Structure 1
Amino acid sequence: MKAMVLNQYGDDAEFTVTDVAKPSVSAGHVLVQVAASSVNTVDTMIRTLGEALPLSPALPAILGMDFAGTVVEVGEGVTGFAPGDEVYGCAGGLADLQGALAEYMLADARLIARKPRNLSMREAAALPLVGITAYEGLQRGGITAGQQVLVHGGSGGVGHVALQLAKHFGARVYSTGGGEAQLDLIQRLGAEPINYKTEQVADYVAKHTDGKGFDLIFDSVGGANMANSFEAAALNGHVASTVAMVDLDLSQAHFKGLSLHVVFMLIPMLHNHKREAHHHILNELTNIVEAGELKPLLDEQRFELAQAGQAHARLQSGQAMGKVVIDV
């Protein structure tokens, strides 16, 4: 089969079209003919940082975590899938798991689910990593109907899904963005846009919550922005962060009695730990999508498998609006 292979890591690392052996199906797994794969920030980090990241695969490597495709073979013990099923998931591209930038990939059946019928393969491939991340963060934050929920970075890959899921769960949703296009998208998705470049945290907390703070904050920006999340949170509120690698004074979180939830959705893949949870979440996402309450946004530029490097560059440029998808 054809695959895009990395033979070295680094800022200038290039993908090479290579003929490699098609994987053989194994117990508990399915062999999938890949139709599309989306690019996530973690994919670009692996390519550039390589061994500096403990989750990077050994070279030569086939990256690509997210995919949508068709089951062609089913391994021993797999009962939920059959050849011909259209599926999606986040099941490779790190550690010892072959990625989706290839014509075929082997996927643990616990990491995939039936593709939503009303999404194209390209749209479905855009959803797994960001969808699981957003769903997990909101659930761990204890989201309930009627809450005031703030999503930081609501026009981003994870953020635009978290925003839609929060609405699905019945919350009143607000979201920060930094430009006209971002704020317009946030409004189109049904949330109240907040321009973080022109509005101070104290101002929008006063304006939207009468100074009480938001019940739940989903922070897809993270890092230093976590301090803004703590400031914007209500007493005994919840903050879910996808980027918590930061040195930060937790005094404000202490005096407000906040709960911090760090979401690192790759744990089941990396450690073979409760992988069935991802199957469950993906099934829930399929139901939500088919109910018309969630739709991933795709970047306007299209890329073929041989253009994987250009797709990575597009995401890294910061100019993409929506998920960058590669047609396989």
Structure 2
Amino acid sequence: MTETMRALVSGRGPEWLLADAALPEPGPGQVLIRNRAAATNNADLPMLAEADPTRGGHGREFIAGFEYAGEIAALGEDAGDWQVGDPVMGTFPSAFADYLIADHRFVLPRPEGLAADIACALPTALLTEFGALTVAGFVPGRSVLITGATTGIGLVGVQMAKVLGASPVVATTRTSGKRELLAGLGADTVIVTGDEDLTQATLAATGGKGADVVLDHVAGETFAQCLPATAEDGHVVNIGRLAGRASTIDLDALSYRHLTVHGVSFGFSRDWETVPILESLSADVLPAVARGEIQPVIDSVVDVADFQQVAERLRSGKAVGKAVLVFG
């Protein structure tokens, strides 16, 4: 094993820099992962901009990325039941590199036969959407509304809700061109928010009751519209804030319907939450992944040497699904 590796580094300018970095060594409770592929996420470009010292950023260098797939290359002490060579995937900082260190508790087994350039696009979405359904107390048979359903995470959420027994699954998109995609992934009703009123369309899709669980990836005015579209005693989980962090809501809609509002971060960030969610995820969701019932939507697959293509694709706003970097 070499002593250096390739890595995409932030903090030196407005773009990632492909550079040599020291090969990390796993400490207690950690595993070293030979990374084969890494997926990009909406947060990657803002993190790059925040680190850019040429434009007032903090200038602290770090290896970018946080979603990967590969295999175990080495083990630290007390690293659980993992073995060298085990195929894995997960979400952990510094994923845009040939190797990365991860806490063994946060690593997921990669289903047999699932290629790394597909698997790497799943962990953040699986953890976020399953975690959101968990905090909302979802059980099979309840209705689920997913806003911003054509995001990389939302696309997985639609499939997951269907596999776990949600009925109906209602998904939103801004344009009619995405209707067929969402229907094909399991949405029973697709609401085109550019043409339809979200609240009224959701009520119509749920027999006037409203959705039992809402997974909101949009926020802003959309979050406010979700409250009167939620069933009595229902749960609204805000996951993403694509339309902005601020929202003016109708407190009558919140109070009279006895709603519960939850806020979560992408991937979850507190150990005491993450570990049990991952354990349940492995048992309840990964079998469906292995059967091909939950799949990421891949926008593009690019060798890490051509990483500029990925950055340009993300900035264009035209990517549908995940852009993937391959490390070989």
Whether these two folds match at TM > 0.5 is yes
1:190/1:250 Cα in 2 relative to 1: closer, same or farther (>3 Å)? same
Deviates more, 1:284-293 or 1:273-282: 273-282
Deviations, residues 208-257 of structure 1 (Å, cap 9, x unaligned): 12322111111111233101111211122111111363243351212221
Find the counterpart in structure 2 of residue 96 from structure 1.
none
Deviation at 1:272, TM superposition (A): 5.1
Distance 2:203 2:277 in 1: 38
**Alignment partner, residue 193 of structure 2:** 196
Would you say 1:180 and 2:176 are equivalent positions?
yes
CA 1:279–1:229 in structure 2 vs 1: closer, same or farther (change >3 Å)? same
Q: Does 1:216 align with 2:220?
A: no
Cα distance change of structure 1 residues 51 and 276 upon mapping to structure 2, 3 Å threshold: farther
Unpaired stretches in structure 2, ≥5 consecutive residues: none
Q: Which moved more, 1:191-200 or 1:204-213?
A: 204-213
After TM superposition, the score normalised by the length of structure 2 is 0.88
Report the identity percentage. Answer: 29
Specify which structure has the bigger relative contact order, considering alpha-carbon pairs within 8 angstroms and separated by 6 or more residues. 1
The question of 1:111 aligning with 2:106 is answered yes
Check the 8 A contact 2:11/2:52 in 1, yes or no. Answer: no
Letter of the structure 1 residue corresponding to residue 90 of structure 2:
G
In structure 2, distance between residues paired with 1:136 and 1:102: 27
User: Which sits farther off after the overlay, 21-30 or 141-150?
Assistant: 141-150
Matched, 1:234 2:231: yes
Partner SS, residue 126 of structure 1: coil
Q: Which amino acid aligns with 2:197?
A: Q
Q: 1:164 aligns with which of 141, 148, 159?
A: 159
| Deviations, residues 128-171 of structure 1 (Å, cap 9, x unaligned) | 11111110111111212222211112221111111111111211
Give the distance between the partners of 1:91 and 1:58, measured in 2 at CA: 21
In structure 1, distance between residues paired with 2:195 and 2:223: 18
Amino acid aligned to 1:6:
S
Q: What is the alpha-carbon distance in structure 2 between the residues aligned to residue 114 and residue 126 of structure 1? A: 14
Against the structure 1 CA distance between its residues 67 and 288, is the aligned structure 2 distance closer, same or farther, given a 3 Å change threshold?
Answer: same
| 1:295 and 2:295 aligned | yes
Worse-superposed segment, 182-191 or 250-259: 250-259
1:238–1:261 contact (8 Å) kept in structure 2 = yes
- Within the candidate set 94, 118, 127, 1:123 is matched to 118
Distance 1:208 1:274 in 2: 33
Alignment of 1:1-328 (within 5 A): 1-8=5-12, 13-50=14-51, 59-92=60-93, 99-172=94-167, 173-191=169-187, 192-243=189-240, 245-249=245-249, 251=251, 252-268=253-269, 273-277=272-276, 279-284=278-283, 285-299=285-299, 301-328=300-327
